[in-house]
Amino acid sequence: MNQTFIALIIFITTLIFVSLEKINRTVIALAGALLLIILKILNQHEAFSAIDFNTIGLLTGMMVMISIIKRTGLFQYLAIKISKLSRGNVFSLLFFLSIITGILSSVLDNVTTIILIVPITLAICENLEISPAPMVLSEIFASNIGGTATLIGDPPNIIIGSAAHLSFMDFIINLAPFALILLIILPFFISLFYKKEMTQNIEEGWAKVEKFDEKKAIEDPLLLKKSLIVFFLTIFVFVFHHNLGLEAATVALAGATLLLLVSNIDPAETFLEVEWSTLFFFIGLFIVVAGVEKVGAIQWLSNKIITLTRGNLTLITMAVLWGSGISCSFINNISYTISMVPVIHTIGKVTAFNLSPIWWALSLGACLGGNGTFIAAAANLVGVNILKRQGWVVTFKDFFRIGFPIMLISIILSSVYLFLRYLL
């Protein structure tokens, strides 16, 4: 059997099993990677060189920082404080909870955001005696939209930023304003599906919610002060990291190390909260994709895209955007993005295009595609499972009925945005 065929089989099998989630995705990615080495499609040196340590370092640094900041209770404090702005109106509550989720998700990973926000939402809704399902669904969608806004908001952006040498500010300038628009539209769209729920009278329960004491959510005020200083310092350095000649991973790891230093928290304890499984999933995927790249499959796919789009930048950008949005509604967006990076690099080499619109198309498609179905993103499953534990069942169909149109609308709006801003 020739090597191209074997590499393709390993790649496709890995993608399928990662998306099916019947077997742990990290085990699948590592198995695929090791098979490529054992079958001599890649040697160990080539495999290890394929790992993007800038991505791994950025993820690790952010995981360490967030695991420490989480202990302070800051995120719960913010969620309660912002919810109170709604002054007893269900739609306003939906609006503010979605906005704070989106904003938090632009600096936290989506799963962490959902784990922090949804329980607060449950507490509020239980006291208001209303169904938490519309709020939680809106938060799930908002977390995927918010993640699109920054370099550190969602893994596809971390991968794209590292591969395309796009800075923190590049993402803020090019994606954040558009993500904010989507975030503002989202609650209005959700309210169309839950018209009856939006008009409920919650005056009686609201008196209880107003008694929630957000100050008590702060668990460690001293750690909070230290964390905020280090966090904002890190964001400040992120803003200038390219001018300073620093890679994003250096900034994140420096922030994490500084926070460990000033917080005096045992690193062993913090490292237990680092998602090693996710990091090794990335490592496995980088190697699997390097395998198909080496045998020429990526080159072939890139040429095919160029031929089909007749080498037209607008068509390539739209193909990447829509292909990514639809694909990432069903398959894991991390494996998709890692696979697409070399494809786009190759398109760049062949056509000598300015690749910016294509990178933004990949980011928008991969991140927003996460809203398409509840299997599309880990945050979706986590949110739906928390609801289920409380007796509110959201089926695949329930999620699809709202999530897929949200994905489609956000991709249509992204098409308009990309066209007007970069392709006109």
Partner 1 sequence: MKIKEVMIPDLTSVSADTPVKEVVKIMSRQRMAGLPVVDNEQNVIGIITESDITKACLPGYYKELRNPSFIPDFDQFSKQAKKIAHLPVKEFMTTTVYSVEEDTSRTEAADLLFRKHLRIVPVVRAGKLVGILTPSCLCKNVMEED
Which residues sit at the interface with partner 1, rule CB under 8 A?
A: 70, 73, 76, 80, 116, 118-120, 122-123, 126-127, 208, 211-217, 219, 386, 389-391
Q: Is 165 left (phi over 0), alpha (psi -120 to 50) or beta?
A: left
Smallest separation (angstroms) from partner 1 to the CB of 212? 5
Smallest separation (angstroms) from partner 1 to the CB of 130? 13
The set of residues, in sequence order, having a beta carbon less than 8 Å from that of 145 and lying 6+ positions away, is 102, 105, 179, 182, 183, 186, 367, 368, 371, 410
Smallest separation (angstroms) from partner 1 to the CB of 329? 27
- Asked whether the CA dihedral 404, 409, 410, 412 is positive or negative, the reply is positive
Nearer to partner 1, 96 or 282 (CB): 96
Nearer to partner 1, 105 or 410 (CB): 105
Smallest separation (angstroms) from partner 1 to the CB of 115? 8
Name the residue among 230, 222, 228, 225 with its Cα closest to residue 261.
230
d(CA 31, CA 10): 9
d(CA 76, CA 370): 25
Nearer to partner 1, 118 or 249 (CB): 118
d(CA 85, CA 200): 18
d(CA 368, CA 365): 5
Smallest separation (angstroms) from partner 1 to the CB of 121? 9
Nearer to partner 1, 45 or 211 (CB): 211
Nearer to partner 1, 215 or 401 (CB): 215
Nearer to partner 1, 119 or 323 (CB): 119
Smallest separation (angstroms) from partner 1 to the CB of 71? 9
Would you give the end-to-end CA distance of the chain in angstroms?
Answer: 47
Nearer to partner 1, 42 or 78 (CB): 78
d(CA 118, CA 135): 9
Smallest separation (angstroms) from partner 1 to the CB of 170? 34
d(CA 57, CA 114): 23
d(CA 362, CA 345): 12
Q: Is 229 left (phi over 0), alpha (psi -120 to 50) or beta?
A: alpha
Smallest separation (angstroms) from partner 1 to the CB of 274? 18
Nearer to partner 1, 123 or 411 (CB): 123
Structure tokens at 18: 């990662």
